[in-house]
Structure 1
């Protein structure tokens, strides 16, 4: 049986990256070098290591980001120390809709009933809102618990036949509305 897929956004979902002098004075977990000698100070979202470990047991993990390949790879190489991320998709895999970059899950080549997208940006899941597991944007709050909710949901959803139904039930329980 093929594993279900959890597609994860990178920026503001798994990590928070800042550049500049003031960024380095705040808490950060690691630093990467970007283009033009720019340094990015990256803070991992609380529980991200646990999320990746737990998801890897039952899901195929895809990171689907609107970021560029060089930037995303530099972060993911430091974040994915146990090599549990199966696929990395970047800006060039996104679909342009006007000025927006949308993550078209149909491009994954899998039945959409087997896929969820965990993302902080509603524009990202505009084409398949029923597959979205929205999270609040992470901007450095060390008390953040959003990824624990994702872990809990995914633990419960491992046996469901259609991830979209599980998401719908979860939204109804929490009274979450997606436009």
Structure 2
């Protein structure tokens, strides 16, 4: 990585990797919080969200939107004790090494879901960082099914993944993400995944997420399936809508 200082590497990592989807101004960093919500530079006040069109022939499948960081992989610009991949990325004309850890059973999980769903990887991280990772874990995923930070909406200091951008019935769309704020506009469509930061004993993908997804495949409304696995709150109104 040449003459990059630790300070420069930390700054680059905080700008390109979305660990939790939260955004604060630089002045908020170092204010005594844990730092996990202060990693990102402020986004524009308005964000233009492109329309994602899903062909008529594809809509027979359910749409599965997968988060990347801390859901499928954990990445760092510093070498951890172990890693599965080392990928060179170019940011601002400078090459950096990214160390990628794959969540346990990731390959098996992806192999099972790919034939069942129209899969979209949607991350709040930057494309130059995320795209090489997707190339490795899902090499055949078309560019049209890879969405990055510029496709997020920005609201109340958070990057939000608005499912209305998909040209598909909302009852046929599922999102899996470790940050519930990412799908706060469609909470009934979201499967929360426990944040993964390298635990090799983790079985979340195969033991919890996959069984829910398999039940969604033939469901008329995926939200009803997802609701079965959500903790119930007393007198909570239904969030389902057509």
- Shared fold, TM over 0.5: yes
1:96-146 deviations in Å (ceiling 9; x for gaps): 003210000110121110011000011101111111000111100011111
Show the counterpart of 1:163: 222
Show the counterpart of 2:154: 96
- Could you say which structure has the higher helix fraction? 1
Distance 2:211 2:191 in 1: 12
State the Cα distance separating 1:37 from its structure 2 match.
2.4
Q: 4+ runs of 1 displaced by more than 6 Å? A: none
Q: Secondary structure at the match of 2:69?
A: coil
State the Cα distance separating 1:38 from its structure 2 match.
2.1
- The answer on whether the counterparts of 1:29 and 1:41 sit within 8 Å (CA) in structure 2 is yes
Runs of at least 5 residues in structure 1 that lack an aligned partner in the other structure: none
The structure with more radius of gyration: 2
State the Cα distance separating 1:171 from its structure 2 match.
1.6
Show the counterpart of 1:30: 85
Between stretches 150-159 and 133-142, larger displacement belongs to 150-159
Distance 1:137 1:115 in 2: 21
Distance 1:158 1:42 in 2: 30
Q: Secondary structure at the match of 2:65?
A: strand
- The answer on whether the counterparts of 1:53 and 1:84 sit within 8 Å (CA) in structure 2 is no
Q: Secondary structure at the match of 1:154?
A: helix
Show the counterpart of 2:103: 45
Distance 1:165 1:123 in 2: 20
- Could you say which structure has the higher strand fraction? 1
- The answer on whether the counterparts of 1:52 and 1:84 sit within 8 Å (CA) in structure 2 is no
Q: Secondary structure at the match of 1:42?
A: strand
Show the counterpart of 1:9: 67
RMSD over aligned CA atoms reads: 2.0
Q: Secondary structure at the match of 1:62?
A: strand
Distance 2:141 2:131 in 1: 14
1:23-78 deviations in Å (ceiling 9; x for gaps): x2411010112323221100000111111111112111110100111111110011
Show the counterpart of 2:174: 116
Scaled by the length of structure 1, the TM-score of the pair is 0.89
State the Cα distance separating 1:150 from its structure 2 match.
1.4
Distance 1:125 1:56 in 2: 22
Show the counterpart of 1:18: 76
Instruction: Identify the structure with bigger relative contact order (alpha carbons < 8 Å, sequence gap 6+).
Output: 1
